[in-house]
Amino acid sequence: MVKCKMSNVKCKGFTLIEILLVVAIIAILASIVIIAINPARQLSESRNTKRKADILVILNAVYQYDIDNAELPATIGTGGTEICATGAVSCSGLVNLSVLTNSERYVVSIPADPLGSTVTGGTGYNISKSSYNRVTVTAPRAENGASITISR
């Protein structure tokens, strides 16, 4: 801080160097905080959390259907095929689970991956069943190297 005294005039203030030093310190601290928070990673983690919730909703709806009808939806195959979105124009090559959304009895609509699907009319989630009727729902577009799969 500069203090000057010239013929009865007092002047006080900060030098340019002092101001630049404070600004530099604030910039360094801000960059450290941003790196620690890592917003891109936080967003991808939140999308992964949504994926986990979505595939659990799908799996629960499938098993509620199974309880009511004593069989799994007939369209579920063993190949791990992508699920058709609710209201899609065409479900060609996709697993059509419209029996779950009819009358909104099991689920209002089939959830879709937060980043969308690479297939037209798809949800971004895959479903398959084993020879013992064990159903597996996966989210193949999971981020940060995560593997999101639920079987029941």
pLDDT at 70: 95
Q: Could you tell me if residue 115 is inside a domain?
A: yes
Tens of pLDDT along 53-62?
Answer: 999 999 999 9
23 in a domain, yes or no? no
Query: What pLDDT, on the 0 to 100 scale, is given for residue 114?
Result: 96
Lowest mean pLDDT among 1-10, 18-27, 95-104, 133-142: 1-10
DSSP assignment of 78-89: SS-EEEEPTT-S
User: Per-residue pLDDT for 141 more than 60?
Assistant: yes
Please report whether residue 20 resides in a domain. no
What is the phi-psi region of residue 76: left when phi exceeds 0, alpha when psi lies from -120 to 50, beta otherwise?
beta
Inside any domain, residue 60:
yes
Residue 21 lies in a domain: no
Write 38-45 long-range contacts (CB < 8 A, 24+): 41/144, 44/143, 44/144, 45/143, 45/144
Radius of gyration of the chain (CA): 28
Can you tell me the distance from the alpha carbon of 79 to that of 101, in angstroms, rounded to the nearest whole number? 22
Is residue 78, in this structure, part of any structural domain at all?
yes
CB-based contact 65:73 (threshold 8 Å): yes
| Domain membership flag for residue 126 | yes
Number of domains in the chain: 1
Facing residues of 151 across strands? 136
Q: Which domain covers residue 131, as residue numbers?
A: 46-151
pLDDT score at 2: 55
| Residues 151/138, Cβ–Cβ less than 8 Å | no
Mean pLDDT of 96-120: 94
What share of the chain in percent tops pLDDT 70? Answer: 93
As a whole number of angstroms, the distance between CA 134 and CA 151 comes to 7
- pLDDT of 56: 97
Residues 38-88 have pLDDT tens digits of 888 999 999 999 999 999 999 999 999 999 999 999 999 998 899 999 999
Assigned domain for 16 exists:
no
Residue 115 has pLDDT above 90, yes or no: yes
For residues 137 and 149, the answer to whether their CB atoms sit within 8 Å is: yes
Average pLDDT, the chain: 91
